[in-house]
Amino acid sequence: MISIYKLKKDNNVTSRDYDAMRQYIKLIQWGRRNPVQFIEFVLGIQLMDYQRWLVSMSWCATDVVWACSRNIGKSFLVGCFIMARNLLFPKHMTRIISENWTTANDTFKKMEDIATNNIKTIINTNTVFIDELVKSKADSDGFTHDAKTGSKCALLNGSEITAVAGSSKSARGKRSNLNVYDEGAFISKDTYDVCNPFTTQDSGFKLGSGFDADVYPLDIPNMRMYVGSASDTDSFFYKQYKEGTKRMLIGDRNWFVADLSCEIPMHPTVNGLDVPPLLSQSVVDAAMRENEIIAHREYYNIFDHFNLEDAVVTRTDIFQNTENFVPVTSWGGKKHKYIIAYDPASKVDNAPVLVMEVFQDEMKQISGRCVYMENLVVTYGDGSKRPMRVEEQVKRLQELVYEYNGRDKIVPYENVTLLLDNGIGGQSSSIAQALAKPWTDTNGKMHPGVYDENDEYSVLWAEPYRKHCVSGCLKLVEPSKFRNAMFEAAKLLVPQGGIKFPPRCPKYDILVLDDGSEKRLNKFELNALIQMDLMKEEAISMVRIKNPQSGRITYQLPPEKRSKMHDDRNYVFVMCCWEIKNIRDNEEYGDGVGLDYSVMFNKESEKKTQDPWLKTVTSVKTKNRPKSPFSGKSPFR
C-alpha cells in the first residue's frame, strides 16, 4: 500500500486509487523522514530532549548500542521506537530477544501499555497504533500472549512484533528486520551468535514474476539494537559498545552508540526547559552505599575490568548455567537432598545462609543448584543493618535445617548437610555449642541437636546431650585450611556446568517461566533472588592473586573493590562448591534413585514411645527397621 509504482501500467493501481491514497502516502513518507515528530504528533507521545536525540540518531543506523542508566526509560523509548518503525514500514519483522520470558515480556508489555494508554505518566496518547492491529476476535485488542509462540501482535500492513525468549538451542530458524536486545548486558554470547543471523539476509533482496528492481523502492536496512546498563568487559554487550564507539569516531554512520549516565534522568529537559526528574539523587546515593561496584555499573555506566585468567567465575559462566525456576523454600520431596552453608557474623558483616540442592545431571555427575539464600541481618530504624543476635541466628538456622530435611516426614538430619564456617570472627564456637543442644520449635515439639564428630571441641560440647544429639549432619569448616580448595572447586565446577544458578530477580513480583506461565513471588522468594543476585556479583568479582615475594596463592577481591563490596555471600557459595566436589571425589552419593524414608519408621514402636523425636534417633539400630541404603551414614560424607 505504501510502495506504489507511480505512473506504471503494471502495478494494478488506477489514478483514482492513487488520488485516494495520496495523503496517506505523504504522511508515511513524512513520518519516515521525521520519526521524532511522527511519535509526538501522530502517536501522541511527548518525548524528552534526550529521547528525541536517541530516536533520531538511531533511526538510520544498522547497529545501535544504548548504554543507559537505570530509570532512564529505556523500555518505554524502545516501545515507542518499535511502534513507529512497524507502522511506517510494511512487512517489518521485529524480534524482542532475551534468554528468559520475564525480560522479553517486560519490553513487549511496556509497548502494549503505551498503545492501550495504560501508563499513568502518559496522559495524551491516542489509539493510532492499536487501530492498526489485526484482531482475530471481536473482543481482542490485537495483542496475544501464548506460552509456546510468545507475545505477539500483527499490523494491517503486514508487520509483526514478537517477543522471543529461550536458550541458544531453542531460539533458531527465524528472520527479522529489527532485533532488540533489552538488558543486553545480561544475554550470553551464545544467544547473540544464534539471534544476530536473524537480520543477516539483506532487506533489499526480492524476487518475483515481473519484478523490476529499478522501479521497486528500497527497503530500510535491517537493524540490531543493544539496550542495557553497563556490565563487565567480558560481555558481548561491551564488545559491541567498544566496536561501535570506534566506528563512530572514524565516521561510520551505520553505527550509533549512546552513553547516558544517571545525570541525564536526574536533570531532564523538554524543549530546553527543565522538567521533574525521573531519578532522584537519594536513590543513587543509597545504591552507592549498598554496593558501590554495582551502582557504578548501573547508574554511571562504568564497565567492570578484571583479568579473565585470574577470575574465579565469569559472567559468561553464570549465563550459561542459569535456569529459570522459582526459589525453593522447603523440602522438595524424596530424591531431594540439600547442602546448607552458613557464614556467621557477630558485628557489622553479613550473615548469609545458602541452600544448594544436590542432584545428578544428565551425565550422571553430582551437581548443585542454588535454590535459596537468606541474610540473617536486622535493619534498624536509622537504616543501619546488623546481624541478628547469636541466639536468633542459631534459631533461624535450626528452622532452615528442619524445613529442608523434610520436617517430621524424614529421620532427623538424614537429608541435609550443614556447613558452618569455623573462623573466629563470627563466634562459630558459640553457635556450634548452641547447635548441640536439643531445641523446641514453635509448636512445642523437641528436636535433637547436631555436632561434628570429626571436631574434638564439637564432640566435647555435645557430650552432655549425647543421647539427644545427632552426628553426620554438621561439618565445621576451617577457612585457613580449606579456603583455597573452596575457590578452586568453584573455578573447576562452574565452567563445567556442575553448578546451576537461579534467574535474575524480576523488576516486579512476577516471574515468567520458560513455558510462558506466570508465578507471583512472595516476599521470601523475592528476597532469595535478590540475595543470590548479590552472590553472583561477588562471585564474579573474586580473583586469584599470587604474592610476588612468597609465591603464595590467595583468592579475594581485587584491591580496588575490597572497601566497596562484601564477599560473604560468595564465601558460602564456594563452601557448597567444595562440598559438591568432595561428594564427587568420595563417590558416596549413590545412584541418585529417590528413597522413600517412610519405611524407616516402625509404626508399632511409635505408638508405645512417648517422645517421637527421640524415637527417630534411638530406633536407628532396631532389628525390625529396614537397613538404610547409606548404611547409617550421611549421603553427603
Per the domain annotation, does 114 fall within a domain? yes
Among the ranges 44-58, 197-211, 579-593, which has the highest mean pLDDT value?
A: 44-58
On whether both 279 and 332 belong to a single domain, the answer is no
Q: How much is the pLDDT for 611? A: 46
On whether both 555 and 483 belong to a single domain, the answer is yes
Residue written as grid cell 564497565 = 303
Structural domain harbouring 18: 1-33
CATH of the domain at 379: 3.30.420.240
Taking alpha carbons only, the member of 449, 451, 448, 452 closest to residue 615 is 448
Which of 234, 261, 283 corresponds to the end of one domain?
Answer: 283
> Secondary structure of the chain: what % helix, strand, coil (to 5)?
40, 20, 40
Per the domain annotation, does 136 fall within a domain? yes
CB 61 within 8 A of CB 256: yes
Q: How much is the pLDDT for 142? A: 84
Residue written as grid cell 579456603 = 483
Q: Provide the sign of the torsion angle of the four alpha carbons 578, 582, 585, 591, taken in this order.
A: negative
Q: Residue 488 pLDDT more than 90?
A: yes
| Range in 55-64, 347-356, 525-534, 614-623 the model is least confident about | 614-623
Q: What is the mean pLDDT of the chain?
A: 81
Per the domain annotation, does 548 fall within a domain? yes
Q: Percent of the chain, pLDDT > 90? A: 32
Which of 585, 601, 619 corresponds to the end of one domain?
Answer: 585
Q: Residue 512 pLDDT more than 90?
A: no
Per the domain annotation, does 48 fall within a domain? yes
Taking alpha carbons only, the member of 254, 252, 257, 228 closest to residue 241 is 257
Q: How much is the pLDDT for 634? A: 56
Angle between helices 74-88 and 15-33 (to 10 degrees): 160
On whether both 355 and 421 belong to a single domain, the answer is yes
On whether both 553 and 410 belong to a single domain, the answer is yes
State the number of CA atoms in the 13 A half-sphere of 594 facing the CB.
7
Q: Per-residue pLDDT tens for 287-340?
A: 888 778 888 888 998 887 765 667 888 888 888 888 889 999 988 888 889 999
On whether both 9 and 153 belong to a single domain, the answer is no
Domains in the chain, number: 3
Q: Residue 434 pLDDT more than 70?
A: yes
Which of 261, 283, 305 corresponds to the end of one domain?
Answer: 283
Q: Provide the sign of the torsion angle of the four alpha carbons 2, 8, 13, 18, taken in this order.
A: positive
Nine cell digits for residue 606: 511409635
CA distance 527 to 525: 5
Q: Beta strand 150-154 with 337-342: parallel, antiparallel or unpaired?
A: unpaired
On whether both 117 and 29 belong to a single domain, the answer is no
Report pTM.
Answer: 0.75
Q: Which helix (H) or strand (E) holds 404?
A: helix 390-405
On whether both 271 and 385 belong to a single domain, the answer is no
Q: How much is the pLDDT for 622? A: 35
CB 595 within 8 A of CB 335: yes
On whether both 5 and 81 belong to a single domain, the answer is no
Q: Per-residue pLDDT tens for 215-258?
A: 556 678 889 999 988 888 888 899 999 999 999 999 999 999 99
Q: Provide the sign of the torsion angle of the four alpha carbons 97, 101, 107, 108, taken in this order.
A: positive
Cα 245 to its chain centre, rounded Å, is 28
CB 501 within 8 A of CB 577: no
